[in-house]
Structure 1
């Protein structure tokens, strides 16, 4: 844009312009500055490695690997650490506080560290970095709970709501997780009798499962349900995040198939399912369950999460799935797994959102993305009070089933106890 000398005021008099406009014309905008203000993070090499502007100046993450008895603590800072950057373990051995440039962040460790009084932790002196890593080696003490964490009960793949447990409860009611509507008799569930017919909640239309004709029953997905039990005056409610059901499913497959890599995809469209050309494909995700069991804590709080949190660490990649072509061999190291579309979308969402609490330097591994899926912990399989003396099969009182519906109720219970998701 060229800048010409301003004309005298008399040059505008014949135009009949207001004085305010004449003043604007006589005083044009100044030239833009030749030097622009630098971007706040222009020296950062990787945008993904910067802390989000709306997050704390210090982000802490710690994970405990039980099999090697090691807690790894990561600290992400907005600027390089200095001699003034400090890390201290509190007197109880539960919390670590990192202070840097006047800011502080505290994290609850996945396991209590035995100590006497506050203890300063030694930080690496060189080279200066925005990412700090400390490894705390656990030593077994006589009164330690380390062996308790590695007990047989923790080695099992915990899956709540099995049929035996539900039959022992008083006043058990299955509810739609989306709207809390009670699944009572046929009027709540919509069926038309065809194979693989979706089961819909009559209150909100949410898909809850599908009819399973070979099993002569209903296959209801646990991840779509909540369960209430107890008396009507004092009911207790039980529901879990979808990612816990997903991790339970993956752990089930590890135990029964013997592989740790899974090519997970939603149901293909009819055109893809019947296609004979290799160009027909469905978006999918390759998941490698790298660490089946760990405990983590983060300074970034999330709703409904109380640290330390038990989780599965997964490596994952976006893929494209297509049906095997004639003569094409199946992989011996990767299991093909089909998830309902809603579950597949929840898997992707959970993996990518989990990266927000993982340090930037730990979000990638040799071309894989790294994520976490929460998993069930000891005690979550318990639903209210259990009466060990009552072994009857009439435990679904809250369903209000007649003779025919009672048989269907037993089918529901069997479907609920199958594997982990159904």
Structure 2
């Protein structure tokens, strides 16, 4: 990393994650003198952990579909995605020597499937552009006259610049340095910080029967929140039971929606369909067809055509059905109860392990106080935001990393028209 005695620049970027690095590169390519300040000893710590170290850069959805997955505030992203969508991001990395692909036609990874490839390429591009990178340098405060920003102060140095980009991330991955520094800086400037919740994380449930089902991954599961004001909140993906609850991609996605309700209600009822979307009528017909083909087999054997044995057995027990009995030998009430459980299995989420297990943060700097066209603060001139520090988060699958790169790219233009 380059260090220099010069403290006056055109731009100061706070935070050397995905958003901060691309913001610095973009500004430097436009001829700006840039310093990138990172409080950790190394750049890209959180980026290194992304996608289990494989670095799911983005996905192949259209911009419209991409924004919809972020919810009602997704359209805030329109200018940033117009400036740098997934195709442009793939091209950007190709230009700095990183080829990528989408093995499943959806998620995009570097061909190396290593985040180190991405970090190394970004680092080399910053060196090529002459960007000053200072690690182990924590920014403690903004310097401003109340109308315009003029720099930042650390414990030992004041760096001067008419533009500052806050790209510090949120509170997720605290073991990788996340402490909410950006929220403190934004508050100093007069910005509103919305309520903050951990997101993308395993969840704990009141029910303990899932502990016996830990050996199996259940694909194509749908989870929905069973609260009147949240009936339309759903997620789909693979599910894994744990000793204390549930995890897996579908849980990571729904957790960002559940946790705000959890803080209000103390427990959040959810319903899980583990039978590939079948409703009660379809399930009953499926089992009847299995009985017709194999009349001598037990109900558990029939259920195993849909679910792992451990899960099928647990649901039978919940329904007071003898797993080894024939379906037609069960009472009508037990059959109905079993079919209902197969269609929608109820669980109650009662907790989580907090930000220490959260990949991202739900909440952040209020979007109402940021211009979507430039990422500039509406409160303090010359102050910009990008990435997770803002109140905008998406599901897993390359969404949040694409948003970091897109918003960082747009912020790096410092109010000028962004072109790819």
The TM-score by the shorter chain falls in which range?
Answer: under 0.3
Q: Which has the higher strand share?
A: 1
TM-score computed with the length of structure 2 as normaliser: 0.24
TM-score computed with the length of structure 1 as normaliser: 0.24
- Tell which has more relative contact order, 1 or 2 (C-alpha 8 A, sep 6+): 2
Q: Which has the higher helix share?
A: 2
